[in-house]
Amino acid sequence: MRSATTTNQEARRRQLLDTIRTWGGRWTSGRVQELRRQCGHAPCRTTARRDLHALAARGHLEERGPQNGRFYTLCTTRKDDRS
Protein backbone atom coordinates (compact mmCIF):
# COMPACT_ATOMS: atom_id res chain seq x y z
CA MET A 1 0.00 0.00 0.00
CA ARG A 2 1.33 3.46 -0.87
CA SER A 3 1.77 6.05 1.82
CA ALA A 4 -0.14 9.32 1.71
CA THR A 5 3.17 11.16 1.24
CA THR A 6 4.05 9.13 -1.85
CA THR A 7 0.57 9.62 -3.29
CA ASN A 8 0.72 13.40 -2.69
CA GLN A 9 4.20 13.55 -4.18
CA GLU A 10 3.12 11.77 -7.35
CA ALA A 11 0.02 13.95 -7.70
CA ARG A 12 2.15 17.08 -7.28
CA ARG A 13 4.61 15.87 -9.93
CA ARG A 14 1.83 14.95 -12.38
CA GLN A 15 0.32 18.41 -11.93
CA LEU A 16 3.72 20.03 -12.49
CA LEU A 17 4.31 17.99 -15.65
CA ASP A 18 0.88 18.95 -16.98
CA THR A 19 1.70 22.62 -16.34
CA ILE A 20 5.08 22.32 -18.06
CA ARG A 21 3.42 20.65 -21.06
CA THR A 22 0.88 23.48 -21.22
CA TRP A 23 3.27 26.42 -20.83
CA GLY A 24 6.55 25.00 -22.14
CA GLY A 25 9.77 26.96 -21.87
CA ARG A 26 12.54 26.86 -19.30
CA TRP A 27 11.71 25.60 -15.82
CA THR A 28 13.84 26.33 -12.79
CA SER A 29 13.22 25.61 -9.13
CA GLY A 30 12.38 29.32 -8.76
CA ARG A 31 9.72 29.12 -11.47
CA VAL A 32 8.20 26.05 -9.83
CA GLN A 33 8.18 27.85 -6.47
CA GLU A 34 6.41 30.85 -8.01
CA LEU A 35 3.82 28.56 -9.61
CA ARG A 36 3.11 26.89 -6.27
CA ARG A 37 2.96 30.25 -4.50
CA GLN A 38 0.33 31.46 -7.01
CA CYS A 39 -1.69 28.29 -6.34
CA GLY A 40 -1.75 29.03 -2.61
CA HIS A 41 0.85 26.45 -1.57
CA ALA A 42 3.93 27.01 0.55
CA PRO A 43 6.79 26.51 -1.93
CA CYS A 44 9.99 24.77 -0.91
CA ARG A 45 13.11 25.06 -3.08
CA THR A 46 14.30 21.56 -2.22
CA THR A 47 10.94 20.05 -3.18
CA ALA A 48 10.92 21.99 -6.45
CA ARG A 49 14.41 20.71 -7.28
CA ARG A 50 13.52 17.13 -6.42
CA ASP A 51 10.36 17.24 -8.52
CA LEU A 52 12.19 18.62 -11.56
CA HIS A 53 15.00 16.10 -11.14
CA ALA A 54 12.52 13.20 -10.76
CA LEU A 55 10.67 14.21 -13.93
CA ALA A 56 14.01 14.41 -15.76
CA ALA A 57 15.05 10.98 -14.46
CA ARG A 58 11.79 9.55 -15.85
CA GLY A 59 12.56 11.05 -19.26
CA HIS A 60 9.91 13.78 -19.26
CA LEU A 61 12.34 16.69 -18.96
CA GLU A 62 15.88 17.44 -20.13
CA GLU A 63 18.40 18.98 -17.73
CA ARG A 64 20.27 21.90 -19.26
CA GLY A 65 22.83 24.47 -18.20
CA PRO A 66 25.57 24.44 -15.58
CA GLN A 67 25.06 23.05 -12.08
CA ASN A 68 24.55 26.54 -10.61
CA GLY A 69 22.22 27.66 -13.40
CA ARG A 70 20.33 24.46 -14.10
CA PHE A 71 17.03 24.60 -15.94
CA TYR A 72 14.75 22.00 -17.45
CA THR A 73 12.84 21.80 -20.71
CA LEU A 74 10.25 19.33 -21.95
CA CYS A 75 11.70 16.34 -23.82
CA THR A 76 10.42 15.85 -27.32
CA THR A 77 11.06 12.09 -27.05
CA ARG A 78 10.88 10.08 -23.84
CA LYS A 79 13.67 7.59 -23.11
CA ASP A 80 11.28 4.63 -23.15
CA ASP A 81 9.96 5.71 -26.58
CA ARG A 82 13.39 5.45 -28.23
CA SER A 83 14.38 2.35 -30.16
pLDDT digits (tens, 9 = 90+) for 9-23: 999 999 999 999 999
Looking at 1.10.150.120, 3.40.1650.10, 1.10.10.10, 3.40.50.300, the CATH number of the domain 4-81 comes to 1.10.10.10
Among 72, 76, 75, CA closest to 28: 72
Q: Spell out the domain ranges in the chain.
A: 4-81
62's enclosing H/E stretch is: strand 61-64
Q: How many CB atoms lie within 10 A of CB 31?
A: 18
- Give the burial class of 74: count Cβ atoms within 10 A of its Cβ; 0-12 exposed, 13-18 middle, 19 or more buried: middle
What average pLDDT score do residues 44-72 get? Answer: 95
pTM equals 0.84
Nearest to 46 by CA among 62, 60, 32, 56: 32
